[in-house]
């Protein structure tokens, strides 16, 4: 009887420990662009659940509303972080603060790494180099046949493939089109996460032949199975190795520049962290590119004149406060890995570019230094509040 009681107690304790461990897991997901990186072995500390790639739009909704159903999880599951290539709108931040700030604490938005938006295509004919004007013409429908793309050495219908769901990669790409497509025959492109709603056609220009799919992998499969297709894509889905970024028979160069790591690094080298006075503002931490800089917004940088031109950053969204101290420690652990050099090898292996040492230092100084007002778990901010367990 004694042995049976001891066994029963042991099993009960084991069950409780397993339940507590499951409850303490840090759940997150969002943009598919960086999903392979986050799920690379060792990138997320033990205690983080596997990252769920569902698209930047769904990821932001999941975090902002603590809505795990966006990840396909039960509604009773709590969401602790998200990844998004699409920057939070200022209204997202203000609404979050109004609805949840008092109970959950402030949110944190920081860039994880820099990325190219590559232009994969499926049309035999050797290397493909596109000018910005040609790129705009293809995605507007002004250039609807490969024979219209001067110098391409190709003929046949151009089929544009794009994401049907809300995508941060789409936002990065439409930021470039919005800033750089100046030919009146192209119409205009709005900055958006849904490509179908971006283009306003010019008179007399018909939309291109299009195919769509949900999620980057599905779009890439469509391109690979459709002769004449072209798309925009994150580098980790477009190619399987860093060397593939220089294969101009499958990934177009833009203005003779390939989307390799060196060229992306050159393009983002002028991006600096926000001034100290702006570091309490989550908007200031997420750099974006536009036609020109914005003196009133330190997060806006002009598209660079050198390096690969279609670039951006993929961001992470966390809370400053967590109800469970184990989760607070896990978040600090991940931020430490990401903003030192621990995860850099995985960043580059997945065809992304690590942040500069200056940017990493600014992140550590704001969110990992105990004297900082933005320190994750700061007791003066997080006293008796935090994101639900």
pLDDT in tens, 73-119: 999 999 999 999 999 999 999 999 999 999 999 999 999 999 999 99
Helix ranges, the chain (H): 2-24, 35-38, 56-65, 90-104, 132-140, 168-180, 216-225, 235-238, 261-268, 325-338, 344-349, 357-367, 379-382
pLDDT (0 to 100) of residue 9: 37
pLDDT (0 to 100) of residue 203: 74
pLDDT (0 to 100) of residue 28: 98
Using DSSP, state whether 102 is helix, strand or coil: helix
pLDDT (0 to 100) of residue 24: 54
pLDDT (0 to 100) of residue 16: 32
Query: What kind of fold does domain 121-258 have according to CATH?
Result: D-Maltodextrin-Binding Protein; domain 2 (3.40.190)
Task: Identify the helix (H) or strand (E) that includes residue 150.
Answer: none
Listed as ranges, residues in the chain with pLDDT below 70 are 1-24, 204
Parse the chain into domains and list their residue ranges.
23-115+270-382, 121-258
On whether the CB atoms of residues 173 and 117 are closer than 8 A, the answer is yes
Query: What kind of fold does domain 23-115+270-382 have according to CATH?
Result: D-Maltodextrin-Binding Protein; domain 2 (3.40.190)
From the number of C-beta atoms within 10 Å of its C-beta (0-12, 13-18, 19+), residue 300 rates as middle
């Amino acid at each position: 009887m004694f042995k049976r009681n001891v066994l029963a107690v042991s099993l009960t304790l084991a069950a409780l420990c397993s339940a507590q461990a499951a409850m303490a897991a840090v759940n997150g997901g969002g943009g598919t662009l960086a999903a392979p990186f986050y799920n690379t072995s060792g990138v997320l500390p033990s205690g983080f659940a596997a990252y769920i790639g569902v698209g930047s739009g769904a990821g932001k909704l999941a975090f902002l509303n603590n809505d795990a159903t966006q990840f396909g999880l039960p509604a009773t599951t709590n969401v602790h972080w998200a990844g998004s290539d699409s920057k939070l709108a200022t209204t997202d931040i203000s609404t979050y603060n109004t609805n949840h700030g008092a109970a959950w604490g402030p949110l944190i938005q920081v860039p994880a790494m820099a990325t190219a938006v590559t232009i994969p295509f499926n049309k035999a004919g050797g290397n493909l180099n596109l000018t910005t004007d040609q790129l705009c013409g293809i995605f507007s429908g002004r250039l609807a046949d490969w024979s219209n793309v001067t110098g391409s050495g190709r003929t046949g219908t151009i089929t544009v493939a794009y994401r049907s769901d809300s995508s941060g990669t789409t936002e990065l790409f439409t930021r470039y089109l919005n800033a750089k497509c100046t030919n009146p025959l192209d119409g205009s492109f709005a900055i958006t996460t849904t490509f179908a709603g971006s283009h306003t056609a010019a008179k007399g220009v018909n939309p291109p032949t299009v195919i769509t799919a949900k999620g980057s992998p599905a779009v890439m499969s469509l391109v690979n199975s459709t002769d004449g297709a072209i798309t925009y894509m994150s580098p980790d889905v477009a190619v399987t190795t860093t060397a593939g970024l220089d294969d101009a028979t499958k990934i177009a160069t833009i203005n003779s520049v390939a989307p390799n790591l060196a060229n992306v690094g050159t393009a983002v080298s002028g991006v600096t962290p926000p001034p100290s006075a702006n570091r309490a503002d989550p908007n200031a931490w997420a750099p974006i590119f536009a036609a020109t800089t914005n003196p009133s917004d330190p997060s806006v940088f002009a598209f660079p004149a050198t390096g690969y031109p279609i670039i951006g950053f993929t961001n992470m969204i966390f809370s400053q406060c967590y109800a469970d101290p184990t989760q607070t420690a896990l978040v600090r652990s991940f931020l430490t890995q990401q903003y030192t050099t621990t995860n850099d090898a995985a960043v580059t292996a997945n065809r992304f570019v690590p942040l500069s040492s200056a940017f990493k230092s600014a992140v550590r100084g704001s969110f990992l230094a105990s004297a900082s007002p933005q320190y994750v778990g700061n007791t003066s901010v997080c006293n008796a509040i935090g994101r639900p367990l």
